[in-house]
Amino acid sequence: MGRLEGSTVLVTGASSGIGAACARRFAASGARLVLWARREERLRTLAAELGDDPGSPVRVAGVDVRDRAAVEASAGALARDGVVPDVLVNNAGLAAGLDPLQEGDPEDWDRMIDTNLKGLLYVSRALLPHMLEAGRGHVINVGSTAGHQVYPRGNVYNATKFGVRALTEGLNLDLAGTPLRASSVDPGFVETEFSVVRFHGDEERADAVYEGFRPLAADDVAEAIHYVASAPEHVNVFQIILLPAAQRNAYVVDRAG
């Protein structure tokens, strides 16, 4: 089955999209899963689907990554049970709104900053000491093309993903002298619930984002994350920028019609 068989993979934001696809991909490699998100019921349904495979036990918890106490409690519960992630996929995140900064909603800004940056920090801070003690581990952050190039009205979402990129680079430096690795997978357009969330439930507006070209599927991104996690211990695939073939930069896309 390969390198990841029997390893423990913790995925945040596993109730949907890229996170759920990661759960399925890593389960197929025989990994043990720890799945976190706020919508615990969805995690339970996913765990039941994956639980058919006795080689891949799944542990779920309803965790809001913005809630530092909840993150610390869930990480502590894992440590007490001797569960230490070999791979941490920091995937939980969102965009909220697409407005010029001067018209933006500060509540949207708070949600993005609290989830994409502070949530990723809380989760990493709570788990890394256990991974360091175990002497192994790989942190894979889900960044974005939005962390490489700003696009019109992307402002705060761009800032959070530029921040994720800085945190991946910073963590990689801070882990010097240890066997742990830090990497990021930075996708372009992926058709998930992302745009429905961004547009506060407006499905028509969300669908229009992916009109006229074939976007990435969540499974495409999960495959890249799985590839990063599968590299031999002396190899770090430090960064992958994964685009739909029709996407030329963060905001230029060949669309039919």
Min separation Cβ 5 and ligand NDP, Å: 25
Among 26, 227, 10, which residue's Cα sits nearest to residue 137? 10
* Nearest CB to ligand 8X3, comparing residues 137 and 215: 215
Using CB under 6 A, which of the segments 66-74, 141-149, 173-181, 237-245 binds ligand 8X3?
A: 141-149
Half-sphere exposure of 197 (CA within 13 A, CB side): 15
Q: Is residue 22 within 8 Å of 91, Cβ to Cβ?
A: yes
* Nearest CB to ligand 8X3, comparing residues 123 and 253: 253
Task: Give the per-residue contact string, 184-223, with ligand 8X3 (x = CB under 6 A; - = no).
Answer: -----x----------------------------------
Collect all residues with Cβ–Cβ distance below 8 Å to 2 and sequence separation of at least 6: 29, 30, 230
Is 146 near ligand 8X3 (CB under 6 A)?
yes
Q: Binding ligand NDP by CB under 6 A: which of 49, 64, 72, 169?
A: 64
Task: Give the per-residue contact string, 78-107, with ligand 8X3 (x = CB under 6 A; - = no).
Answer: -----------------x------------
The CA distances from residue 27 to 49, 59, 110, in Å, are: 10, 12, 33
The angle at the Cα of 205, spanning 159 to 250, to the nearest 5 degrees, equals 35
Which conformational region is residue 36 in: left (phi greater than 0), alpha (psi within -120 to 50 degrees), or beta? beta
Min separation Cβ 237 and ligand NDP, Å: 17
